[in-house]
Amino acid sequence: MIISRCFWIWGGFSAKDTLYLNEYKNKVQSILKSPNFAIHITLLGPYFEIDNQFLSQLKIFAQKNSPLDLYLNDFAFQDHIFKSFYISINNSKDLDNLRKALLRINKFNFEKEYKPHISLAYGEHKKNIKKELISKLPKLKDSIKMNKISLVEVNENINLWNILEDFYLIKNV
């Protein structure tokens, strides 16, 4: 289902890890043509309405939470526009707890099974091309650091993914 306007919460990465992930994204998108989007892990959404109280709670949430290590599994793909080609992520207890805490901010009801991933290309691409691409990509490192959450405005009708505000996870352990 294509959604015309809504909001999502994304996770973002350290500057070093963003550069690392963008190298893969650029290699993938040189083969699999894709709309442009910021590298991210989707945490929650869609939200059809947000308000200043929600933004304030996201800011407080970020201040009370530490950056999180995400463990990379492997490259994968599906026959789905927004999961066309991606890096699968281990759904760790820490990631699950972070999502549950975010869910409590506004009682968002999210019953789907969560399969964390970092998309490298959106679109409809042939399976054989994706398989061949996987065989040519360098091995992934073990983990990356997620150090922020972002509120993102999305309009899938026009391929718009606009980061409205970043909230850095800053709690000292």
Low-confidence ranges of the chain (pLDDT < 50): none
Residue 103 is predicted with a pLDDT of 87
Q: Which amino acid is at 34?
A: S
- Global confidence as pTM: 0.91
What is the per-residue pLDDT for 160? 85
CATH superfamily, region 13-153: Cyclic phosphodiesterase (3.90.1140.10)
Task: Give the H or E element holding residue 10.
Answer: strand 6-13
- How many CA within 13 A on the CB side of residue 16? 4
What pLDDT is attached to residue 23?
Answer: 97
Per-residue pLDDT of 60-107, as tens digits, reads: 999 999 999 999 999 999 998 889 999 999 999 999 999 989 988 876
3-state secondary structure of 144: strand
